[in-house]
């Protein structure tokens, strides 16, 4: 039987995810957003591939681990779409 996480653990996870999103959002630029859009829409890269490419492009601004963190990649896609005024729920963003 699997143990359920404590309320404290769950709240720490939620806080870390919020900080993670806030960090990516604060470091998004026009050039970064355009690269992510190209990788996702034209090259059909996965979230993991986008995280990996962004990790190397962003240098010290990339704080996610591992470099191919899928959650980071999907967050990057969402934040890039929002930055560019796109609708991230459209099929082309959801490869």
Q: What is the mean pLDDT of the chain?
A: 87
Q: How many whole angstroms from its chain centre is CA 54?
A: 9
Nearest to 58 by CA among 26, 90, 15: 26
Per-residue pLDDT, 20: 76
**26 pLDDT higher than 70:** yes
Q: Which pLDDT band holds residue 92 (cuts at 50, 70, 90)? A: confident
Indicate the SS3 state at residue 27: coil
Domain spans in the chain, listed from the N-terminal domain onward: 30-93
pLDDT tens-digit series, residues 35-82? 999 999 999 999 999 999 999 999 999 988 899 999 899 999 999 999
Taking 60 as the threshold, does the pLDDT of residue 14 lie above it? no
């Amino acid at each position: 039987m699997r143990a359920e996480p404590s309320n404290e653990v769950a709240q720490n996870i939620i806080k870390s995810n919020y900080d993670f999103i806030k960090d990516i959002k604060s470091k998004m630029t026009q050039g970064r957003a355009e690269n992510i859009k190209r990788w996702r829409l034209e090259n059909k890269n996965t979230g993991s591939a986008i995280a990996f490419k962004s990790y190397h492009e962003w240098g010290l601004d990339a704080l996610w681990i591992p470099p191919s963190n899928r959650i980071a990649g999907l967050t990057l896609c969402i934040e890039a779409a929002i930055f560019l005024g796109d609708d991230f729920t459209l099929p082309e963003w959801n490869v």
